[in-house]
């Protein structure tokens, strides 16, 4: 059995940044059933192996489309953009200055009179910036113009910094909860 390679086609979803996650989960469960190992228990070893591989592909497809960041990177890769960021550095001064400031604010929030309120404010600020970036990313990802896609990749990278910051904020919240 062959499994569809393109994640969007696999789940019969439009190839775009916005994804109906309820529908995604529903289609995932339906596909998962067809690949369940029990159904292949009496089949040949080759078919069992193929089912396992297809199942792994299906899980990878779900994880990719579920995460907005991974979904955006996947869309860019479908359009031929190299999204490997492992060896890239960002040098957009104004943006990095903002990131630095937000992290300093996070440090300060720890020692604020009401740390939870300070963290909440920081989170709101972060969500505002994220929403803006996501909005432009969404429209940029509809384009096939390399210049626009390169801007999309920039926005994706920026969103990765905000994602990290969100994790940091949540970590501090957990630490404070444990006190």
Partner 1 sequence: MAYSEEVLDHYENPRNVGKMDDKDQQVGTGMVGAPACGDVMRLQIKVSDEGVIEDAKFKTYGCGSAIASSSLVTEWVKGMTLDQAADLKNTQISEELALPPVKIHCSVLAEDAIKAAIADYRKKNG
CB of 40 to partner 1, least distance (A): 36
Distances (CA, A) of 162 to 123, 130, 132, 175: 10, 7, 12, 20
Q: Does 87 participate in binding partner 1 (rule CB under 8 A)?
A: yes
Rounded distance between C-alpha atoms, residue 69 and residue 7, angstroms: 15
* Closer Cβ to partner 1, 51 or 156, answer by number: 156
Q: Does 86 participate in binding partner 1 (rule CB under 8 A)?
A: yes
In this chain, which of 56, 78, 100, 112 binds partner 1, going by CB under 8 A?
100
CB of 25 to partner 1, least distance (A): 28
Rounded distance between C-alpha atoms, residue 169 and residue 108, angstroms: 12
Range 170-178 contact pairs with CB under 8 angstroms and sequence separation of 24 or more:
172/106, 172/109, 172/110, 172/115, 172/119, 173/116, 173/119, 176/110, 176/115, 176/116, 176/119
Those residues with Cβ within 8 angstroms of residue 99's Cβ, 6 or more apart along the chain or in another chain: 161, 165
Which one of 9-17, 35-43, 47-55, 92-100 is the stretch in contact with partner 1 (CB under 8 A)?
A: 92-100
Q: Does 78 participate in binding partner 1 (rule CB under 8 A)?
A: no
Q: Does 89 participate in binding partner 1 (rule CB under 8 A)?
A: yes
CB of 9 to partner 1, least distance (A): 28
CB of 12 to partner 1, least distance (A): 31
Using CB under 8 A, list all residues that contact partner 1: 85-91, 93, 95-97, 99-100, 103, 157-158, 160-161, 163-165, 168
């Amino acid at each position: 059995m062959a499994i569809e390679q393109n994640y969007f086609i696999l789940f019969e979803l439009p190839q775009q940044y916005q994804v109906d996650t309820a529908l995604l989960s529903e289609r995932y469960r339906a596909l998962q059933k067809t690949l369940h190992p029990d159904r292949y228990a009496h089949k040949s070893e080759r078919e069992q192996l193929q089912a396992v591989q297809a199942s792994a592909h299906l899980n990878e497809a779900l994880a990719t489309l579920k995460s907005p960041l991974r979904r955006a990177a996947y869309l860019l890769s479908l359009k031929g953009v190299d999204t490997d960021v492992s060896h890239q550095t960002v040098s957009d001064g104004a943006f990095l200055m903002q990131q630095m400031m937000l992290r300093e604010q996070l440090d300060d929030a720890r020692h604020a009179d009401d740390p939870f309120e300070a963290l909440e404010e920081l989170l709101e600020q972060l969500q505002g910036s994220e929403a803006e970036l996501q909005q432009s990313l969404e429209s940029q990802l509809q384009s096939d113009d390399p210049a626009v896609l390169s801007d999309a990749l920039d926005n994706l990278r920026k969103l990765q910094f905000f994602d990290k910051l969100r994790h940091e904020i949540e970590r501090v919240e957990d630490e404070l909860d444990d006190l």
